Structure 1
Amino acid sequence: MLNEQQSLAAHEAIELHEAINFKTLCVAKSKLMQGLVFDQELKALMEKDVVQSIQAITELQAVYAKAPFQMPIREYRPTPILN
């Protein structure tokens, strides 16, 4: 575990970022699939997975905050397509 003065190496930050993205996709898929499942035990298990995954994402984001770099936010942002 990192103490207050340590930071992540660049490759560690990238790998952690990939793990956060993967867990986020897993949560989205589990939430989507719950609508297709009729077995209540399976649905409860999937909901438990969503709750635990959200907790894991929160913890991973706290570690990711120790990354030694940040991506700059572009001034130009494309206009979203609404129709």
Structure 2
Amino acid sequence: MISQEPTLAAHESLEIHEALNFKTLCLAKSKLMQGLVFDQELKDLMEKDVQQSIQAIADLQALYVKAPFQAPVPEFRPTPILN
């Protein structure tokens, strides 16, 4: 008996791909906006969002390997414009 890794259906793969795109965009926006914010409480909240987005992207990438078709997911993380 051959053991086969479960794969996602096409629509599930597309949903995960869309979620990855969305979370990547959210991560980039939060990282970039951190340089423009002066309120420390808001900066802390944005940093928390960045950390949660990084974790969500990692979780989605783990699911995405089960897709029957894939597009490459970039390995780099955006950095803020201003420190």
What is aligned with 1:77? none
Q: Which residue of 2 aligns with 1:28?
A: 28
Find runs of 4+ consecutive structure 1 residues off by over 4 angstroms: none
Alignment of 1:1-83 (within 5 A): 5-70=5-70
Residue deviations 1:33-76, cap 9 Å, x none? 111110001001100100010000000000000011245xxxxx
Gaps of 5+ in 1: 72-83
Code of the residue aligned with 1:61 in structure 2: it is Q
When the two structures are superposed, what TM-score results if normalisation uses the length of structure 1? Answer: 0.76
Q: Distance in 2 between matches of 1:38 and 1:31?
A: 14
> SS state of the match for residue 57, structure 1?
helix
CA distance in structure 2 between the aligned counterparts of 1:5 and 1:15, rounded to whole angstroms? 20
- Structure 1 residues 4-61: Cα deviation after superposition (integer angstroms, max 9, x where no partner): 8321001110111010000000000001111111000100110010001000000000
